[in-house]
Amino acid sequence: MSKRKVGLMRENKKSRSERTAVSREEWKPGNMLYPVPAVMVSCNRPEEVPNIITIAWTGTICSDPPMLSISLRKERYSYDIIRDTGEFVVNLVNRKLVRAADYCGVKSGREVDKFREMKLTPLQSHHIIAQGIAESPVCLECRVTERIPLGSHDLFLAEILGVSVDKRYLDEKGKFHLNRCGLAAYSHGEYFALGEKLGSFGYSVKKNMMKRTEKTKK
């Protein structure tokens, strides 16, 4: 390779690095992991009015046993309820529930009955005392296995003991179509409805796998 060509390659590499550096801005550490699912977490003590808190800091952590996590500030009204009872229900949010989800994330259960104000229906759970939200397409009944203090928030790890789904999203063969529920996501202070399908799991290698299979058959 000629010296001239090597020099041009170095210049191009340098210019690309410079363009990248110019097009970005460094910020201090912060929570910028978006989008996230904004879910409505319902909880209650026995004989008390059930409450709802909207949580965006939640996620799947294990498949066997099925487990998830939620993060809560100690000042939140639901914190003591979940800590004391060790139970809660994660209710997925769709288009129809976005307004209620926002309301339940702003208002405190110390002041209002959120089920009543948002005209939501408490749903009796099968495995725990905490009640779900009947209008939610999917309700996950959870029991806390561990609470981890982290700083501003405590992380609650929980096992999913049961799942109930809205039958309206079952087809004639009994298959549940989750992505027809109109699920919503939260991103940097705004709510969005899930839209265009971009691909299915494994689509990036599917064609290559098919080609290899065809060659093997030959």
Res. 20: pLDDT tops 60: no
Per-residue model confidence as pLDDT tens digits over 95-133: 999 999 999 999 999 999 999 999 999 999 999 999 999
Q: Residue 36 has which token pair? A: 């996230």
Q: The sheet that has 58-63: what strands, in order across it? A: 51-55, 39-43, 87-91, 138-149, 154-165, 66-72, 58-63
Q: Answer yes or no: is pLDDT of 137 > 80.
A: yes
- Per residue in 175-190, pLDDT (tens digit) is 999 999 999 999 999 9
Task: Report the predicted TM-score, pTM, of the whole model to 2 decimal places.
Answer: 0.85
